[in-house]
Amino acid sequence: MATPEKSTEDEEVYVPLAPPECSHASEPLSPTENGNIVTVVVGTEFMGQRTFLVHDWLLIHYSAYFRNVLEARSGTGENVVELSGDSPKIFAAFYHFLYARTLFSRLDFENIPFEDSEICHIYVFGQDHGIPQLCNAAVDLLFVKNVQTWTSSTDQLHYIYEETQEHSPLRKYMVDWVIRFYPLHPLRENESSFPKDFLIDVIEAITAPDNKICSTTNITSREKVDSMKLDICSKYHDHSPPRDYAPPRDYGSFL
Ligand SMILES: [Zn+2]
């Protein structure tokens, strides 16, 4: 995991213990909703498997994928969904999000219970299952973790660029974090760590007419963190409603 260069100002970096606010997050659903329980079997016996019992109205509200699956099965009595290609730990984060609207129970400086790779997997799970609010929560958590641990998650770039599409908010977040906080001179030394498309995105971001970060030399790291935190919702969140959200992959075999 790459670490940005330290400066005397970095000792004063603001540590946001709370994730950024989302001004577009939907209201929590009433727990008195009527509905059925869906059994979601995640993983495989060989790799590890866990069964979750989930209210269908929660899945339908947050996820375009589950909405499609459950509406296609309406009236059939079938209530088991198998996600053999997914990780129980990643689904557990989604499960926690469904009921508590956070990815885990306590945002603790000492113990965010996810590796950077797991946070990126949560994002991709949300992307692939049409759950934009889960993607937003993952970006929020990655930002909090990057600030608190003062790392750049650049070792996740190949995964991110393989699993997300152009203009993905997660790609945009990584580019903007790197041009703010990552020392750019090791780019050549660590060339193999950076996907070509990422380097192109970095060049485009640096040369964009509205880019003021790289050219501003008298801004402290704390000011950069504060300004980025203010931009998280508007720049790196997807506020599309799940019904209008098209998962980028073909999950037809589950229908
Ligand atoms: Zn937002």
Tell me, in angstroms, the distance from the centre of ligand 1 to residue 132's CA: 10
Q: Hey, CA dihedral for 206, 198, 248, 85, is it positive or negative? A: negative
| Mean pLDDT of successive 10-residue stretches along the chain, which has 255 residues | 48 61 77 83 93 95 94 88 96 95 74 93 96 95 90 94 95 94 76 89 87 64 85 92 58 39
Whole-number pLDDT of residue 246: 57
Tokens of 113: 């219970």
37-102 placed in CATH 3.30.710.10: yes
Whole-number pLDDT of residue 16: 55
Query: Locate tokens 């996740």: which residue?
Result: 156
CA 40 – CA 149 distance, rounded (Å): 34
Tell me, in angstroms, the distance from the centre of ligand 1 to residue 144's CA: 15
The structural domains of the chain, with segments of one domain joined by +, span 37-102, 120-245
Of 72, 88, 70, nearest to 80 (Cα)?
70
Tell me, in angstroms, the distance from the centre of ligand 1 to residue 241's CA: 12
Tell me, in angstroms, the distance from the centre of ligand 1 to residue 183's CA: 28
Tell me, in angstroms, the distance from the centre of ligand 1 to residue 176's CA: 17
Tell me, in angstroms, the distance from the centre of ligand 1 to residue 237's CA: 5
Tell me, in angstroms, the distance from the centre of ligand 1 to residue 189's CA: 36
CA 74 – CA 91 distance, rounded (Å): 23
Tell me, in angstroms, the distance from the centre of ligand 1 to residue 25's CA: 6
Specify the pTM: 0.87
Contacts of 207 (CB under 8 A, 6+ apart): none
Cβ pair 95, 58 in contact under 8 A: no
Region of 96 on the Ramachandran plot (φ > 0 left; ψ -120 to 50 alpha; else beta): alpha
Tell me, in angstroms, the distance from the centre of ligand 1 to residue 27's CA: 13
Tell me, in angstroms, the distance from the centre of ligand 1 to residue 255's CA: 30
Tell me, in angstroms, the distance from the centre of ligand 1 to residue 67's CA: 22
Tell me, in angstroms, the distance from the centre of ligand 1 to residue 49's CA: 32
